[in-house]
Structure 1
């Protein structure tokens, strides 16, 4: 399950995986972001707020996740992965092969820095 919030004034989608990811989660995300992208052309960023990564419910869920990424990857400027878990820490290196968005990892306690970076794209100290 994914909790999600679209910060419309900033063009930032905040996603918080709280349980194994299901196909319906990504269908709900599409319904949330597609109208915004249709109106504004893009998202400024996506904040993945995941203290830990719960994995996928099944193979269909993983495929739906991949389709979501492929459909939106050229419409997102930046992605911030906020997590202390090793899997998401390597996300920026892996993402370079699959997405055009700039991807950065932040430690879990650096959520505010991650959000500031998404908003501006500037280095945040």
Structure 2
């Protein structure tokens, strides 16, 4: 399951995975996020907040995740990985080559710092 929190006032989205991600998680996330992008022209930022990366429930879920990234990365200014998982560092290193958004990794307990970076560049 993927919990999606929208802060419309700041054009900020917080994603909190809880368990293996499914293809439906990404479809539902897009349905919630797309109207915010349409209203604001882009997202100020996206925060992925999870202590450890739960993985995908299936290959279809992985494909949906990649499609979600492809369809949304140009509409997001900053992405913060707030996690203790090594996947956050890996995603930052690899993603910088393929994603328009600025990427940065933070430890799980640095949520406030990550939010400030996403919103204010601090």
Q: 1:111 — aligned with what? A: 111
**Structure 2: distance between partners of 1:52 and 1:33:** 23
The number of residue pairs the alignment matches comes to: 122
- Contact map agreement 1:83 1:89 (CA 8 A) in 2: no
Structure 1: 5+ residue stretches without partners: none
TM-score relative to the length of structure 2: 0.97
Q: 1:97 — aligned with what? A: 97
**Structure 1: distance between partners of 2:103 and 2:79:** 5
TM-score relative to the length of structure 1: 0.95
Q: 2:18 — aligned with what? A: 18
Instruction: Give the alignment of 1:38-57 within 5 angstroms.
Output: 38-57=38-57
The CA RMSD measured in Å over matched residues stands at: 0.8
Which contiguous aligned blocks of 4+ residues in structure 1 show a shift greater than 4 angstroms? Answer: none
Structure 2: 5+ residue stretches without partners: none
**Structure 1: distance between partners of 2:64 and 2:90:** 21
Which piece of structure 1 moves more, 81-90 or 38-47? 81-90
Instruction: Give the alignment of 1:34-73 within 5 angstroms.
Output: 34-73=34-73
**Structure 2: distance between partners of 1:117 and 1:5:** 18
